[in-house]
């Protein structure tokens, strides 16, 4: 299933962000790294489909594939924002 692992990781980053508010930076960073591993797997599945189509192989477009693409992009955006927030919270707590 394309991007399936990425879809599963969409919710947990918000849980990790909540933990940051209580200064659990190390655990939050560890869990974000774990979430990143799932994202990379989803990204590889996505890239594989793109490469197949670029090589001339017919890749059937379906609602599930479109949804997976949307979830992958949404997850990437969320992940990047939360990573920035982790850094901001770390800087605020060091002052």
pLDDT at position 5, please? Answer: 54
Q: What gap in Å lies between CA 79 and CA 82, rounded to an integer?
A: 5
Catalytic residue among 18, 43, 46, 67: 67
Give this prediction's pTM: 0.62
Q: What gap in Å lies between CA 78 and CA 32, rounded to an integer?
A: 11
Q: What gap in Å lies between CA 56 and CA 3, rounded to an integer?
A: 22
Residue 20 sits at the vertex; the CA angle it makes with 71 and 94, to the nearest 5 degrees, is 130
Q: Is 25 a catalytic residue?
A: no
Q: Which one, of 85, 86, 88, 79, lies nearest residue 25 by Cα?
A: 86
- Write the pLDDT tens digit of every residue in 57-82: 998 888 988 898 898 889 889 888 88
Tokens of 51: 């490469």
Ranges of the chain with pLDDT below 50:
1, 4, 7-8
């Amino acid at each position: 299933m394309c991007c399936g692992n990425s879809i599963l990781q969409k919710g947990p980053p918000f849980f990790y962000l909540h933990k940051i508010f209580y200064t659990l930076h190390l655990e939050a960073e560890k869990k974000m790294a774990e979430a990143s591993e799932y994202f990379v797997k989803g990204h590889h599945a996505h890239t594989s489909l793109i490469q197949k189509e670029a090589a001339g192989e017919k890749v059937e477009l379906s609602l599930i594939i479109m949804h997976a693409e949307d979830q992958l992009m949404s997850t990437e955006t969320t992940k990047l924002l939360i990573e920035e927030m982790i850094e901001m919270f770390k800087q605020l707590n060091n002052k």
